[in-house]
Structure 1
């Protein structure tokens, strides 16, 4: 019988070996990339705030801004200079939409009113109302939140129909060319005033119809799109004013009081020099006798020996051991005997039955019966101290 020697095993292909070695890291990297992309999609940050044109929150106005942007060029301004530049750059058919005007200074309102462009005011302040709509005034507030009928000849309101515009109501003085819609009480929720420069100011007593939450209620959307109808809309929502600089407490002190502190400080310095003690250099003084440090201990030991006071010696040895060892064991100084004995036995490995009489003796004390017993007590305590280290 003949056997044939096995031939050489053909080597595995290089591409297959690389795929088997790299498929697991490639799968992990793919999963991480996909997860990072999905997480980044939810990290888009939107501005927030009341009547904020970019906010999707209920009190924001992103929905209205998107609708206006389909037919008009909407420019969002955060300051009055930005709004002035936007109006001047737009020219032609331009409408200034102004809200939160209490954040603007009177001179800023005067500058905006001098642009001679149509203006839409949302719940304006008295100062802004006087500047943009002379002759108009606030006459009350509508408390009925239900949709109101326009009941006026203004085509924009008549086409929109009923709308939820309950808020402040306005009226115009006799002789002022104005048209009011959505009457309530002694005034109108929407008042349109013609200005002497040929422009028109429309006043709305509430910002609710502009919000994402109420835009689709009744005819709010149609009314807003009709009233804010221009080729260019400059949406001015002023940012809160920033505090620039502040006075320190020292700046608030009158100059006369500051100078009065100078003679007071000089008087205190003179008083300190007058009452201060003048001490000279240290003078070395020779001691009458040199006393060794151990003399007190040896003297007390001699008194104990002369009076055979072994009980006091034993108490002193035990007290010294406890003062040194109890803090190391993590116990309070007022810990009871049982706790101290248990801790010492656990740390040193000694028998608790042997440790108890060593630290807290019974009466009579076997360790103070004679000098040999007292020496044995000292040795046992030293050995126990070594075991606790």
Structure 2
């Protein structure tokens, strides 16, 4: 057996390549940065969700248990069998309006933009939904042209903080007195004799125009109404049990149809010039944590670029041409073939080299057909021609054991051929 064939066979058999553990370790090292980046983003998202997922203490928010919060009236209504849904989504509130349901809206603090109000008002007028506004103040004039927000005249004196119904509405008279400690702001009708409208809890100012802290007017041609609850005290946790507040809230919101309490957030509101319509620009579609995750991902990506783009030390100067020992290239090629499980290609290399050497020993020309070389080798060495043909031409390696056996048989045939 020649030395070169022995090197090829031993290279094919011994160059096993990295094992499973080594390959797993290499994969772990190559993906370590991305794993760390994913962990950082995940932690940032979890922290953001936890921070934002705590109790919202905003005034009249349905999660807030503070004195100014609104959790109490929500839970009382639910305890009494009210089908009540809470949401901060303008889209969900709009869907409830389109369904003709009762929608209570926290309208104070200018949390609703004018485009959002105009959109909800138009949809409520078309569907016949009952809209209940909590302290809308000046923005009530965007909701409807039947009401305006103003202050009592100076001649009325100091408005009382404890108000009687002063109207014929059953709900208000059942509730009785309420508290209203503002400076005299009330909601006035734009008509001296509004039809099918109700104004209650107004201070006795002698004004002939109907007015009050509580007002209800028709809205649209589909039978809907717009109700204004002008004081946040009537809903707040700390004052809900005072006077007739809970009775008034239950009377207005305690119908049998589904109720949605919409608490607007500014990030969910469209503004003037938005082309996205209700719901604002496309950014409102993303959850809040997505913004935090994006901000965290920016430095992670920057670090990744720096890590993968860094130079691993100074440039190595290699004298050319580079001389690589033949045995090293043979071993390297054998290892690559084994790693890719290219048994047929490896065997083809071994057969080709063996046929070239056998042809030289038998003094055959370089262009002699492989079948002729095999036949001459079998005849000269006294081997079975069919077996020699199978070993040198036709047998295919289906596994490593078959490849090793054929390689050994090739070496055996080559060793039996004596030079001429």
Over alpha carbons, which structure has the higher Rg? 1
Looking at both structures, which has the greater relative contact order when contacts are Cα pairs under 8 Å and sequence separation is at least 6? 2
Name the structure where helix makes up a greater proportion of residues: 2
| TM-score (norm: length of structure 2) | 0.43
